[in-house]
Amino acid sequence: AQSVTQPDIHITVSEGASLELRCNYSYGATPYLFWYVQSPGQGLQLLLKYFSGDTLVQGIKGFEAEFKRSQSSFNLRKPSVHWSDAAEYFCAVGAGTGTASKLTFGTGTRLQVTL
C-alpha cells in the first residue's frame, strides 16, 4: 500500500527566506504526486502535481517541487517566502483501480512565517 511521510511537523522561516518542505513516498508503481496547501478555515488547494515528464514541476504561488525517484522524494521549494504562505502543506500520492483515484496524504507540515 502507498504511504507518504512528511518528516517535519512544524517549520518556521523568516519572510524572504527560502523554503524546502520534505516529502517521501512509498508506492510500488509510478507515483502520481501532489502538494496541497490548507489555510485556516479553507479547503485543500492544489499547488502542483507530478505524473510524468520533467521532474521539476512548477506550481502556483511561486512554488516548485522536484521528483527524485532514487530518493523516493518530492520536496516542495520556494525561493522567497511571503507572510501569506503561512499554512499547512500536505504531500499526497495518488493511486487507483483504473477509474477513480484516491489520495494518500502525509501528516502535513505547518509553516509559520516570521516578519
SS3 115: coil
The DSSP code for 100 is: S
Give, as ranges, the residues between 94 and 113 that touch another protein (CB under 8 A): 94-108
User: How crowded is residue 111: how many other Cβ atoms within 10 Å of its Cβ?
Assistant: 21
**Is 85 exposed, middle or buried (CB count within 10 Å of its CB: 0-12, 13-18, 19+)?**
buried
Cell (9 digits) for 113: 512565517
Q: How far apart are CA 55 and CA 42, in angstroms?
A: 29
Q: Select 43 or 115, whichever has its Cβ closest to another protein.
A: 43
35 is an interface residue for another protein by CB under 8 A: no
Query: What is the smallest separation between the CB atom of 43 and another protein, expressed in angstroms?
Result: 4
55 binds another protein (CB under 8 A): no
Q: Report 58-97 residues binding another protein (CB under 8 A).
A: 90, 92, 94-97
Site for another protein contains 40 (CB under 8 A):
no
The footprint of another protein (CB under 8 A) covers 32, 34, 36, 41-46, 49, 51, 90, 92, 94-108
